[in-house]
Amino acid sequence: MDCYTGTRVRQESAEYVVSKPDNKPDNKPDKTNRPLQAADQQAETFERVRLAHQMEATEDYVELIDDLINSQGEARLVEVAERLGISQPSASKTLARLQRDGYVTSEPYRAIFLTNKGKALADSSRARHDVVFRFLLAIGVSEETAKHDSEGVEHHVSDETLAAFERIIEQQNKS
């Protein structure tokens, strides 16, 4: 069990220095010590993460709806709920929000359609997902793990990070 005491982390009899009260380095290498950001920078970082979390469901829904439309010709509430592993009332509530926000259109007991705004977000999300997936494969992650991990990472990487991922993928493809 990990235990943080303010100066050390103890884990199963191994000891790793996190920081020392006097901020003097210990003789042991410390790869976990990083300086605390300025409050405004840290707040900006957490705000970015909160915004990414808010968009996760929206991106997942529109990407799934687009996949269903492309593969089956339509997307229906029952299948959206089933594929997301949630109840139909939960999916219905989110789809109502997506409709209010201009990502989808739907009529009761009818198929769900993406608006131009929803289609653009689905395409963008799918492209991000694809880059993250291919990057994970390029660095040696198994296909199964890359499928799972890319599903969450896609929502949180910056454009700069995606560009770096693409450069690594290209380098890997050239070798």
CATH class of segment(s) 55-175 = mainly alpha
Show me where the domains of the chain are located: 1-34, 55-175
CA 173 to chain centre: 25
pLDDT tens digit sequence for 10-66 = 444 444 344 444 454 555 555 677 788 888 887 787 777 677 667 889 999 999 999
pLDDT tens digit sequence for 117-172 = 999 999 999 999 999 999 999 999 999 999 999 988 888 888 999 999 999 999 98
